[in-house]
Structure 1
Amino acid sequence: MPLTYDNVVSILAEITGMDEDEITPQTTLLDVEMDSLLLAEFDVILAERHGVDLAAGLDLTPETTIADFVHAVAEQSSGAEAAPSVMGAL
């Protein structure tokens, strides 16, 4: 399943207990009470469902918006998917 904004919001709603409609692109990680434990849970779910590992770390602050968070996760997702094809070309 491709990683989309809706997928990320769905996972965030699942782990925070918030309604998906409450999470907008302008919502911050502070608004969803994202802490290191929730981020670790998010990472596990993301790895299971989308094969994306955030272990490399993200540059996040409590003021990071969901739109910025999705963008950062998508960048890591593309990097993770690109690595095998680059290796195969060598």
Structure 2
Amino acid sequence: MLSGCGNLEARLATASTEIGRQNAGVSLPALPARCRDNMPRVTPKAGEKWRAVQGRWQIVADGVDRRTADCAAFYDDVRAGIGAAEPLSIPRG
């Protein structure tokens, strides 16, 4: 009979730990401001050759790709820090 009480105590401790974890919630840090920036627009200038326009567009696109990678790494680190198994759903606003 004593082993049954020990088992009950362990189950109660596990349950209370889980209830506490769920009630604690998750407090996410603020998303870095640059992660919300829109991609800059590249507009042709009068007399500019299309190769130059394409080159400027490529520079802008590379910058956006770097920003996207930085933002993804930031939230991967946050997710790892809180032990989340699934990707976090970040509301857009």
Q: TM-score with structure 1 length normalisation? A: 0.29
- Structure number with larger C-alpha Rg: 2
1 or 2 for the larger relative contact order (CA 8 Å, sep ≥6)? 1
Structure in which a larger fraction of residues adopt helix: 2
Q: TM-score with structure 2 length normalisation? A: 0.29
